[in-house]
Structure 1
Amino acid sequence: MRIVQIAQRADDLTRAAEFYTMLLGCPPTATYDPPGLLFFDLDGVRLLLEQAAPPATLYLAVDDIEAAVSRLRDAGVQVVSEPHVIFGHEDDTLGPTGTDEWQAFVNDSEGNLVGLVEQRARAS
């Protein structure tokens, strides 16, 4: 099995389209309004922003968590939690062995929490 689609709540599709276009660096792949659906492609997984969906937390991989948070803050996005180490990967169960998992959290335009994740080589 593989993930095909993730849904998040979006009260205002136009506002959500602007936010996620800025966050992801690409425009929506499709909009259907009515019934209130907005889609983005995340490397083959559909992100559905839907007016009837419940709120959700989305975690996105980033190459440089500090740069991503800085860019979002400069764009006026509310940073809920600054970049910090969540845990170290001692084996490859959840990430590459010998890396630390850094996470930060921001609120999207619709009040959903978005986690930013960087797996970084552990400092010696």
Structure 2
Amino acid sequence: MRLIQVALRAEDLARATAFYTDLLGEGPTATYDPPGLVFFDLDGVRLLVEQGAEPATLYHQVDDIDATFARLRDAGAEVLGEPHVIFSHEDDTLGPAGTDEWQAFVKDTEGNIVGLVEQRPSGS
């Protein structure tokens, strides 16, 4: 089994498209409006931004959590949690052993929660 698609709610499709284009660094792969569907490619998994879908939480791995968080905050995203360590990876069950998992949270323009994740060497 392989995850193929994740859906997020959009109240304003253009506004949501702009937010995810900025966050992901590239535009949508397909738009169908009507009925109000915008697709982005997340390394082979479709991110569907859909009018009328339920709100969701989606976690994105980023190279620099501080810079990404600052960019989103400065663009007006509602801050739910500043970058902080969630836990340390003692083994490689959920991430590289010897790293700390940093996370931060904002709301997108449509009320979905966006989790940002970076793994840094422990203690850095």
- Whether these two folds match at TM > 0.5 is yes
Whole-Å Cα distance in 2 between the matches of residues 9 and 61 of structure 1?
20
Residues 57-103 of structure 1: CA deviation (Å, up to 9, x unaligned): 00000011111111112212222100000000111111111110000
Give the match's secondary structure for 1:106. strand
TM-score by length of 1: 0.96
Whole-Å Cα distance in 2 between the matches of residues 82 and 120 of structure 1?
16
Once the 2 structures are TM-superposed, how far is the Cα of residue 12 of structure 1 from its aligned partner? 1.0
Indicate whether 1:98 and 2:98 are aligned: yes
Question: Across the two proteins, how many residue pairs are aligned to each other?
Answer: 124
Give the match's secondary structure for 1:104. strand
Residues 19-60 of structure 1: CA deviation (Å, up to 9, x unaligned): 111111101111111111111111111100111211110000
- The aligned counterpart of 1:3 is 3
Whole-Å Cα distance in 1 between the matches of residues 18 and 121 of structure 2?
33
Question: Which consecutive residues of structure 2, in runs of 5 or more, have no partner in the other structure?
Answer: none
Whole-Å Cα distance in 1 between the matches of residues 99 and 84 of structure 2?
13
- The aligned counterpart of 1:61 is 61
- The aligned counterpart of 2:80 is 80
Whole-Å Cα distance in 2 between the matches of residues 71 and 107 of structure 1?
13
- The aligned counterpart of 1:122 is 122
